[in-house]
Each structure stands twice: as C-alpha cells, then as structure tokens.
Chains A and B, each alone.
Chain A
Amino acid sequence: MPIKQLSLFVENRPGSLSAVCNVLKDNNLSIRTLSLADTQQFGILRLLLAEYEQARTVLEKAGFIVKVTDVLALEVPDRPGGLADILTILDKHQLSVEYMYAFTFGVADKAVIVFRFEDPHFAIEALQNEPIKLVKASELFR
C-alpha cells in the first residue's frame, strides 16, 4: 500500500519554502515530514501529509506545480545495521531506489524510511514475503 507524496518545484531563493508552508498553514494542514532535494538554483520539495488531496488543491490554486507520487514507507529497526539489512533485501530483488529520506515517528525504537521506487507496486509484491514492515498511511498519519 503506497503512500501519496506531494512533490513541489521550488526556486532556491529566500521565501520560497515559507510560501509553501504558509499556504498549508492558512488551510490548517499539517506536514508529517518533508525532504528537500536542492541545487544551486532550484529544488524539489517532497511532502507527506494526511490530507494530501486537499493540500494539492490549495497549493495548485496558489500557483505551485504539484505532483502526486506513490512512495513506500518502510519501518526500520533503530539499531546498527537496520538500514543495511533492508538495502540488502532491496538489492536481492533488484529494486533500484530513485531517492529516499528518513524520519522518526511515534514509536521510540523505530524509524521510517520513505523510498521512491520506479514501480512501487512491483516493489510491494517483491517485498511481501520479506521481513520488512510497510507502514500504512493510516499508521503514518495517526
């Protein structure tokens, strides 16, 4: 079960991130986590939030270019080698990672890593018999 991620194009200049955040704030929408991939001139802002459809609508209305992408949230044990074990499994299934970012939430000894695979549904199938827990949207945004 993929999670819906919003990606936004932002210029690398003062105020461009706060413009996004203010639109969300004005609509009472809260961000679960975010990651920014940036270059000298522009960046791609990736957001996870519960009401992604509403967020998309208000952001587009505000003039932003928004793309909805399926990503997978994988639970990673918060111990040495936790991530290495997961990556080994991904390699075994030849799942190449477009990009990833990590965050911690709720549970004390667990972290979540968000993975962007080329084909998330293929990844779900490949991982279903592996000892990896896919975090559901309902858990992530609880």
Chain B
Amino acid sequence: MSNFVVPNRIFDPEAECMPSGERVKMQIAGLRRTVEQAKKIPFYRRKFDKSGIAPESIKSLEDLQQLPFTTKQDLRDAYPFGFFAVPRAELARLHASSGTTGKPTFVGYTQKDLEIWSGLCARFLVAGGLTADQIVQVSFGYGLFTGGFGLHSGIERVGASVLPASSGNTQRQIMLLEDVKIDTLICTPSYALNLAENITAMGKKGKLALRYAHLGGEPWTEEMRLGIEEELGIRAFNNYGLSEIIGPGVSGECAVRCGMHIQEDQFMVECLNPETLEPVADGEQGELVITSLNKEACPIIRYRTRDLAYLDSSPCECGRTTKRMSRIRGRSDDMMIIRGVNVFPTQIEEALLRVDGTAPHFMIELTRPGNLDEAAIKVEIRPQDFSDKMEAMHKMRDRIGREVTAITGLHFNIELVEPNTLERFTGKAKRVFDNRKLND
C-alpha cells in the first residue's frame, strides 16, 4: 500500500523549472539586492567597508565567495535585533530558535518575506502529494519555532485545510487522524515513528485515511522512512530548512525522491569543506553554507549551517531544474538534536556550573531505544561532591537534572560515575556519544 505512485506536480513551475541561464541572472540580481539590504545591518556594513564590497562588486556567481561568512555566534552577539534590516513597524512576524544559554535567536519577516516563505513550503508540500482537497494535521509545535506556522501557511497557500493539532498528546493525535480522516501529516520523523507504533498497538493499523507525511526538524535515515511508510501505509517526504535562513522550505523532495530540491531562486547553497572553507565537488560531503537572495527583514549572507550533506546537480526526472541536496548526514560542530530540540554541550556545562561553580567531567550519551530519543549525562563524582549520606547524593543528582532541564527544556537521565572513568581527550573534549545511528 505504501508503494502507490505519487503524481508529479509542481506548485511554481516558473521558479522551479527555470532554465539555468535565466536562473543565474536572477541569482546575481538577488545577491546584489541582498548586499544592498545587508548594508543596513552593522555587522555586514563593517565587513563590506573593510573589504570594499558593494552591490556592483557582484558580477558573477563566483563573486559570492568574496562575501563574509555569518555564524550562529555572530547572530547571538547581535541579540536581540542586530541582524534586522527593516524598522520594527515593517515586521509582520517574529520567530526564534533555541539559544545556548537561555537567550533565543530572533528572526523577523516582512509581509513579503512571509509570502515568499509560504510559497516555498507550498512547493515541497505539492511536490510530495498535497492537493487542495486534502486535510493536513500539523503536529509540529506552534510557537516561536518556525515549523508549526511555516507549514501552516504553506498548506493554506496550496488551498488545502489545516488542522493545527500542535505537538504532544499522542492519543489525541491519533483520534484526530482517525476521526477527521486526515490525508497528510506534518511532524518530526521520530514522532511519526512513535505515532505509527501507537497506532499499531491500538489495532488501528491500516484503518486510517492517511496517505502522506512531510517530515522534518531533525535528521533521519532511509531506514526510518521505510519503517514509517510500512507501518502507516503512506509516503513520507523529507524537507529541510532552518530558522536562521527562513524556516522549513529551503529544500524538499519531489516525487522521484532522489534528494531535496533547493529553492535556488531564493537561496544560494554552497557545500564547503568545513576546515578549509573551499567548495567540495558534487557528491562529496561538506558543510552547507546558505545565502538568501530576496529576504527583506533578515537578509543573511553565507550562513554556516554546520549541517553536513552533499549536493547533486544532475538533472531530475521530475522536470525541476534546481540542484538537490542529500539528507543531513551529520554536523560539523557538536550540536545535538534531541527530540527536535537543539542542544549544545556547552549548555550542559553551564548547568553543571550552576550546581557547583566548577564543572566536573561529563559525557552525553544519546540513544533511541524505541522511537524516541533518550539522553543521559554521565557526571564524574569529585571528592567535594561526595557524601556518605544517600539523601545528599540524590539531592545533588536531582539538582543537576533540574538545572539541565531549566537550560535545555529537555529531560536528561543523570548518572553519577566514579572518578577518571570517562575517557579523557587531548585537545577538544569529545562530550557527545550519539548511539542513535543516524548515518547508516
């Protein structure tokens, strides 16, 4: 049942199937526009002044390589609105991504930005089977996170109906899927697996009307896709995006499913060696570095996503002329995505510092015993942490757990371990042991 053929439909043929020569001209114009708009942001203005960059400096796509990089830290340093290029009054919406030390990173959208964004979401939704007569359940959280509202507007743009279920309460999610006869589901891949397992356990396997799922927000594997499609009898599509760029909609799969088509009329996606920052060849893994071409509120130049993937410029059977990118195959930094939430080891360190002023040795271990991520922190006991009273030890362990949850918003199992039992590394400590097997 999950092998049915998905019709090849294209939401915006003009943009998605544009002849490449024409697209290059558009991209050059987009880069100039972005440099012009980015001048309103002090960070970029300083960099442009220093290296004498002006919109007219962009004469070919290769000139992109003269432009400065932007890192997550640059965005953080400019908290809250240092990367906004329009006055407050012109903002139509704000979203935020999770921060490392409690402060989020804000992103803003003008009305025009929102229209472009909903169109980008509409493109991958239609590519993956969405039609105007369907009802779509959005089980992404609605809120600061870009996923919920981004997909919501994309569905409306296609003309389909939205059921904004938001995240959580699995039993109720399944009731809605069944009673509303939902056609398409939007959530994270691990939550889709979790739903599938519960649906099977409730004896409802094969009894739902569900046909499609659009999954994103965390890396997943082909094996997970097979499991989800098999259990639910659906076709599941992958899409990619990040709030710093726009949210979901940077790329998404077509019916052929041989990589995610990059929306190249809106973004330039480079694939670079994360060490040398030189471009890597098609098919070779590198870090995705993204530049926006049309954004007004938050134009962004050469943003280092830290996501590792590879690019594919070969023609696709679907008729789109855009480049495709592979699934995300890892990170070039130590960020973890746990149950869809971004977590950095430095956040765990900060939580441990709050407990005692100096952080003990620790290690983070990620597993996925069923379909949901489990996260544990092993903390080495030091003489000053140790008490002969069990109650005091429990108190300390619980305090660590509370501080970690306060900073990350996630529950971690805290394990106290004997001194010198965690591996020591010369140079940069390896803090994270991810045993979820995302790249097989």
Contacts and interface: CB of A to CB of B under 8 A. Distances in A.
A99 B390 contact: yes
Given A41-B415, A65-B419, A9 B381 contact: yes
B387 interface: yes
B417 to A, nearest CB: 6
B49 interface: no
A42 interface: yes
A60 B313 CA distance: 61
Interface in B396-415: 415
A16 B418 contact: yes
A65 B388 contact: no
A67 B386 contact: yes
Interface string A82-115: 0000000000000000110000000000000000
Q: Is the interface of B mostly helix, strand, loop or mixed?
A: loop
A44 B388 contact: yes
Contacts of B389: 44, 98-99, 116
B383 interface: yes
Which of B388, B389, B390, B393 has most chain A Cβ within 10 Å? Answer: B388
B419 A63 contact: yes
Q: Is the interface of A mostly helix, strand, loop or mixed?
A: strand
A14 to B, nearest CB: 14
Given A11-B421, A65-B381, A44 B390 contact: yes
A10 B418 contact: yes
A28 B221 CA distance: 56
A52 interface: no
A116 B388 contact: yes
Contact of B420 (A10, A63, A69): A63
A61 to B, nearest CB: 12
Contact of A44 (B383, B393, B420, B421): B393
B103 interface: no
A5 B388 CA distance: 10
Contacts of B382: 65
B390 A11 contact: no
Nearest to B389: A98
Contacts of B394: 39
Nearest to B418: A11
Contacts, number: 48
A63 B418 contact: yes
Contacts of B420: 63
Interface in A34-61: 37, 39, 41-42, 44, 46
Nearest to A116: B388
A64 B418 contact: yes
A40 to B, nearest CB: 10
B416 interface: yes
A9 B416 contact: yes
Interface string B320-357: 00000000000000000000000000000000000000
B367 to A, nearest CB: 15
Given A11-B421, A65-B382, A65-B383, A42 B416 contact: yes
A54 to B, nearest CB: 18
Nearest to B413: A41
A63 B419 CA distance: 7
Contacts of B387: 67
Interface of B: 381-383, 386-390, 393-394, 415-421
8 contacts: A9-B386, A10-B418, A16-B418, A37-B390, A42-B393, A42-B416, A63-B418, A99-B389
6 smallest beta-carbon distances between A and B, as pairs: A7-B388, A65-B386, A69-B388, A37-B390, A42-B416, A9-B381
Given A11-B418, A67-B386, 17 more contacts: A9-B418, A10-B418, A11-B416, A39-B390, A41-B415, A44-B388, A44-B393, A63-B418, A63-B420, A65-B381, A65-B382, A65-B383, A67-B383, A69-B388, A98-B389, A99-B389, A99-B390
